[in-house]
Amino acid sequence: MHEVAIAMGMVDELIRIGRENNAKKITAVRLKIGRLSGIVTDSLKFAFDAVKLEHPVLLNAELTINEVPLIYECNDCKKSFDTDNFYFPACPECDSFNLKLVSGEEQDIENVEMEV
Ligand SMILES: [Zn+2]
């Protein structure tokens, strides 16, 4: 499962952040996950909750996932719109395929709360 690898990468990153801040415990983590990232957020949560058990600093970390919609801006008429069409999005205003991705690819740690 793709999400397990992502969860492990995030856990490594969180441990690094915790060390840099001399944190005793990480209590909450908020992620920003774009729809185009292909990540199933429920699976990611599940994987994170399993992986964190191996790391005392993360044992009590509560994960929140902020899902970011897929948003494009049309280069022709400048309209921005959100869509579920991952493959062939077109502007709803002028049918153009000349689009710029505004959001949807995020795979970021947005916020970390910790006890030091
Ligand atoms: Zn347009």
Q: Please give the distance, rounded to the nearest whole angstrom, from the Cα atom of residue 79 to the centre of ligand 1.
A: 6
CA distance from start to end of the chain: 34
CATH fold group of domain 3-69+103-115: hypothetical protein PF0899 fold (3.30.2320)
Confidence label for 1 from pLDDT (cuts 50, 70 and 90): low
**Alpha carbon distance 26, 92 (integer Å):** 44
Taking the centre of ligand 1 as the mean of its atom positions, its distance from the CA of residue 86, in whole angstroms, is: 17
* Cα 106 from Cα 62, distance rounded (Å): 20
pLDDT classification of 2: cutoffs 50, 70, 90: confident
Strand order in the sheet with 62-68: 62-68, 25-34, 107-115
Per-residue pLDDT tens digits for 62-85: 999 999 999 999 999 999 999 988
pTM, two decimals, is 0.83
Determine the distance separating the centroid of ligand 1 and the alpha carbon of 59, expressed in angstroms: 48
Give me ligand 1 centre to Cα 73, in Å: 8
Can you give the residue ranges of every domain in the chain? 3-69+103-115
80 CA to centre of ligand 1 in angstroms: 8
